[in-house]
Amino acid sequence: MQNLTLNILGFPAVNKDLTVELRDPVTMNVVREAKPFLDGTVKVAKIDPGSYELTVRHPNLAVPVLRRPIRVLPTGETKISVLLDPSKFRDTPVEDIPEANLTPVLEVAKSVAETVTPLAAKVPGEAILAQDWNTMAGAIRDLANAVAELTRSVSPIGHDHPEFLKKFDEMQANFETLLNGVTAALTELQRQIQTQRFREQVEGVLDLAAIDKASPKGREFLGVVENLEQKVTATPAVFSRELRNAAVQLATKLEALMDEKKDDVEFTASQQVKQLGIALDLQKQVRTTTYDAELQQLRKLDRQLGPSGITGR
């Protein structure tokens, strides 16, 4: 039993609300759970050495703040530092921009009205003096300047509201982060379903062939599946490669088993063997590098193999 010390860095303001989970990388069951100190330090005492899935959660977020594999060393105290992304907690209020002061514009408009009022009493045939003309032209100029000032004060060019645009950009970034996290979580859940289907299909073939699962030959088959189950949290490119490798290995072993039992028509023509062969052929074709593409591929496998394959043999 060893001790583990975690240092959570990046955004100290949320340390008091965080929860740290250490999960078994295969079963994803929670092995230990702890709360960090205000400085972000987490002490986990007397834990078995080996690989774990570290998950950091915050009560205000639907998906984990951080998730990564770690390893507790068999000798000495293991010290690990992790860095949180502060943008995951960003929720900036809409900027309060002061209202434009329109009093000067209003005063100019009133002044123009008072200035041109005497000119409104002209009668037909009365001379328009230069002084009257200049007064009217000056009033029009002042009114035009006031209108121009009004357009700059009340509505910027294009009628943008920069405070709302910044908030919308932040909301979009937060939504994309959430969507990416949900997509990754759904993909990993779908991987677990597919590997469980894979295991049940392999076990069904072994049972039909009367091969003990604990025997060396049974372990040859199930060992490939177990190795794939340990990769369910890998990146799409890594999991895709591991899935193809597992399909190639099992296809080779299945062909060898069918050669051994070529005289057993009931086995070679069985539905279990056919279904496993179809699944292996489909899995050899998987070449995805993003969570979105992999999720679509896994859904395609569900449609082709049928959801009943998860629990039935």
In a domain, 189, yes or no: yes
Judge if 194 and 294 occupy the same domain. yes
What is the Cα gyration radius of the chain? 36
Q: Which of 229, 100, 93, 95 is nearest to 153 (CA)?
A: 100
Give residue 97's pLDDT. Answer: 65
Cα 77 to the chain's mean position, in Å?
Answer: 33
The residues of the chain scoring below 50 in pLDDT are 308-313
Considering the domain boundaries, does residue 94 fall inside one? no
Of 28, 61, 86, the domain-final residue: 86
Pairing mode of beta strands 50-57, 41-47: unpaired
The residue segments making up the domain with residue 34 are: 2-86
* Distance (Å, whole) CA 288 – CA 286: 6
Q: Which of 83, 64, 82, 73 is nearest to 10 (CA)?
A: 83
- Is the domain of 216 the same as that of 179? yes
Quote the tokens at residue 250: 């099992």
Q: How many domains does the chain have?
A: 3
Q: Are residues 196 and 283 in the same domain?
A: yes
- pTM score of the predicted model: 0.52
Q: Tokens 């050899």 label which residue? A: 284
Same-domain pairing of 113 and 208: no
Answer yes or no: do 185 and 304 share one domain: yes
| Residue indicated by tokens 């490119």 | 237
User: How far apart (Å, rounded) are the C-alpha atoms in residues 226 and 69?
Assistant: 18
Q: pLDDT tens digits for 39-73?
A: 999 999 889 999 999 999 988 777 788 888 999 99
Helical ranges in 209-270 per DSSP H: 216-229, 236-260, 265-268
Regarding whether 285 and 196 lie in a shared domain, the answer is yes
Report the SS3 class of residue 291: helix
Q: Which two tokens stand for residue 205?
A: 């073939």
Q: How many helices (H) and strands (E) does the chain have?
A: 8, 7
Q: Pick the last residue of a domain from 163, 185, 212.
A: 163
Strand partners, 32: 22
Does residue 305 sit in the same domain as residue 197? yes
The CATH number covering residue 32 comes to 2.60.40.1120
Joined together, the tokens standing for residue 192 give 């677990």
**Residue 178, exposed/middle/buried by CB under 10 A (0-12, 13-18, 19+)?**
middle
Strands 78-83 and 2-9: parallel
Q: Is residue 214 part of a domain?
A: yes
Do 143 and 73 share a domain, yes or no? no
Identity of the residue numbered 142: D
The percent of the chain in helix, strand and coil, each rounded to the nearest 5, is 55, 15, 30
Residues 71 and 125 in one domain: no
- Residue 54 forms part of a structural domain: yes
CATH code at position 234? 1.20.1440
Instruction: Judge whether 169 lies within some domain.
Output: no
Does one domain contain both 123 and 52? no
Q: Are strands 30-34 and 19-23 parallel, antiparallel or unpaired?
A: antiparallel
DSSP helix/strand/coil, 296: helix
Residues 304 and 195 occupy one common structural domain: yes
Boundary-marking domain end, from 29, 61, 86: 86
Residues 124 and 62 in one domain: no
Helix (H, G, I), strand (E, B) or coil at 30: strand
Question: Is position 97 within any domain?
Answer: no
Is residue 71, in this structure, part of any structural domain at all? yes
Helix spans in 74-161 (H): 103-116, 130-154
